[in-house]
Amino acid sequence: MPGREVEELFSKGLEALAQGNTLSALSYFDKAISIEYTPIISSCYAFCIAKARGQVHRAILLCEEAIKKEPDNSQHYLNLGRIYLVDHNKEQAMRIFREGLNCESNQQIIDELNKLGPRKRPVIPFLKRSNPVNKHLGIMLRGKNKLRIRYTLVALLAMAIIASILHVLFFSEEQKTSVQQIKSEKENLVEPTSDTLQTPEVAEIPPEPVGVRKEVPTEAKPDTLHTLELVAEDKTWVFISIDDQESKEMILNQGDSIKWSAKNGFSIRIGNAGGIKLTFDGQEIEPLGEKGQVISLNLPSPKIPGKDIGE
């Protein structure tokens, strides 16, 4: 290490660290690094600022930089591991210490590992050791009344699991009840059993008196009614509005057929387009759609996919 003054300052810093006087060591390392930067002074200085000033993030960066420049120097790993201990990161500290021993033997690192002792199982085994819950519970269990705290935590955990199971079971029952109610409502809908045909009423014409000649007026053509026929090839739900006045809702089973007539037209919604055959004014409209597809039609319509329907 060049420079007698730097060597003296570095030696005094190490002595102060050995005596547990971090502030004095920081002062020596600070003066030494201001004169000449070296990786070993930088990593020792990093440990001091982490412990004395709480500058953990900066200290980690300084040590990592020193390791990049001197990757085989175990002293850098010792300082970095101690910084992680200052940050209460025991798992990371032990990993760094082991990396240092892979580089070279270092009694100080071995002493640090012996202080840490064998790793205990996490408080909650099915969570990772690095999980925040395990970390905080581990800190709690280091104090007094460890057994009482452990039993309390186990009881709370068991209660949480039981509550979760009950919630899942109750939620499943609610879903089953809702499904049953929906099925019941659909079954209560009107299902046609025979064809229904609306026919216009025809007024009776009284007989003409005998011997009386009466001019026959030109007969007015009655309004043409539109007809709509549905034949179910599969079970499907149907909603229809006739002349925007009368509405009907029903479920057609396979083989059912039904027929309506209207003066102006129909608005129809079908719940299973692929399961029904539709004939409007004597003309079959196809294809309506796929099985399970919901469609809406207004008839007469200027354009139907695949068919042109006029009024």
Query: Does the residue 62 lie in any domain?
Result: yes
Per the structure, the complete domain to which residue 242 belongs is given by 226-299
Domain boundary (73, 102, 119) is at: 119
Q: How many domains does the chain have?
A: 2
Bigger pLDDT: 22 or 136?
22
Residue 186 inside a domain? The answer is no
Domain termination residue (choose one: 95, 119, 143): 119
> Residue 203's pLDDT is what?
53
Residue 300, pLDDT score: 87
> Could you tell me if residue 208 is inside a domain?
no
Q: Does the residue 241 lie in any domain?
A: yes
CATH number for the domain harbouring residue 81: 1.25.40.10
Is 28 domain-assigned?
yes
Q: What is the pLDDT of residue 57?
A: 95
210: in domain: no
pLDDT in tens, 182-241: 766 666 655 555 454 454 554 555 655 554 455 545 444 456 889 999 999 999 999 999
Model's pTM, two decimal places?
A: 0.41
Domain assignment present for residue 51? The answer is: yes
Residue that is last in its domain, among 71, 103, 119? 119
Residue pair 41/56 in contact (Cβ under 8 Å)? The answer is: no
Which residues on neighbouring strands pair with residue 239, listed in sequence order?
249, 269
CA 236 to centroid of chain Cα atoms: 34
Q: What is the pLDDT of residue 58?
A: 94
Tokens of 97: 């210490």
Q: Is residue 181, in this structure, part of any structural domain at all?
A: no
